[in-house]
Amino acid sequence: MAVPGARCLGRPFVAGAPQEGRHLVLDRALEDELGAEAPELAQLRADSTSEPLRIADRGAPPNAIEAPYIVERDGWFYLFISLDSCCRGLDSTYKIAVGRSQQVTGPYLDRTGVPLLEGGGTVLLATNGAEIGPGGQSVSNGYLAYHFYDGNAGGAFRLAIRKLDWDAAGWPVAR
């Protein structure tokens, strides 16, 4: 269980394609493996050579979106993503955002209803004080793990973990 009441599939569900604009796609091998468990995945394509299904996109270069992580909870699939620029130390603009869908294949929408395929994403964590550019997240057992740059240590790379709660509307909240 990734989060109380959630089901984690145990391996990456989606992959980024940095050379192709970093849109997020369902992993073909995982689709085949989960066919019996998730019939909607097996029906995505008539054959395994067709294009992958896009589930999130910023719409224009540099299309900075990566580090996808999907968690199922209470009938919703939550797609956690990292947006903007990582790996620039104190100049990083990375942030963690989330969208949700009632189907693993999408469409994923943010809290205001904007599709993640159209640049949407409800920001869960962003730069706050000396914690700069949080991203690269994963979710497990009610916790959010991520990395950031420490403004109090000259931009040193740090790993962190926060409690992940859920609000009354069913959206994640990092504590």
Q: Hey, which bits of the chain come out as E strands?
A: 6-7, 14-16, 24-26, 54-56, 65-73, 76-83, 95-101, 122-125, 131-140, 143-150, 156-166, 172-174
Query: Would 57 be classed as within a structural domain?
Result: yes
pTM attached to this predicted model = 0.76
Please tell me the total count of domains within the chain: 1
CATH code: domain of residue 122: 2.115.10.20
On whether residue 154 sits in a domain, the answer given is: yes
Instruction: Write the pLDDT tens digit of every residue in 53-73.
Output: 788 887 776 767 888 999 999
**Does residue 137 belong to any structural domain of this protein?**
yes
Report yes or no on 28 lying in a domain.
Answer: yes
Per-residue burial over 38-53, b if 16 or more Cβ lie within 10 Å, else e, is beebeeeeeeeeeebb
Structural domain that includes position 51: 6-174
pLDDT tens by residue, 98-142: 999 999 889 999 999 999 999 899 999 999 999 999 999 999 999
Domain for residue 128, yes or no?
A: yes
Asked if the structure places residue 1 within a domain, the reply is: no
